[in-house]
Amino acid sequence: DTEVTQTPKHLVMGMTNKKSLKCEQHMGHRAMYWYKQKAKKPPELMFVYSYEKLSINESVPSRFSPECPNSSLLNLHLHALQPEDSALYLCASSQPRDRFYGYTFGSGTRLTVV
């Protein structure tokens, strides 16, 4: 299995809803990432988990809450989002501490906040 699987592919949520995005990989990668991408812009790093521990939080608002329950799974819990949070959310994985190792990206979750 050489894929990063993200679910759901599309999500529409109200500003008072609570929802979660899921990311799964079975490549044995021990670093997992959440990126946010707005239209016609490059991805922006949100969070990095390394060996299931949060290693980077790019000053992301607390309405986004990441979770890494095990080495294969990464969640992003969403609560009280704003319309400007509508974006493509991408998950990626790689091997930490291996500077020559590549990244594998998922196909993303298209989030619309109404």
Partner 1 sequence: KNEVEQSPQNLTAQEGEFITINCSYSVGISALHWLQQHPGGGIVSLFMLSSGKKKHGRLIATINIQEKHSSLHITASHPRDSAVYICAVKTSGSRLTFGEGTQLTVNP
Cα–Cα dist 94/105, whole Å: 9
Give yes or no for residue 42 binding partner 1 (CB under 8 A).
Answer: yes
90 binds partner 1 (CB under 8 A): yes
Name the pairing type of β-strands 109-113 and 10-13: parallel
Query: Which of 42, 69 has the CB closer to partner 1?
Result: 42
Query: What is the number of residues in the chain?
Result: 114
User: Is 50 one of the binding residues for partner 1 (CB under 8 A)?
Assistant: yes
CA dist 55 and 50 (Å) reads 6
Footprint on this chain of partner 1 (rule: CB under 8 A)? 6, 31, 33, 40-43, 45, 48, 50, 55-56, 88, 90, 92, 94, 96, 99-100, 102-108, 110
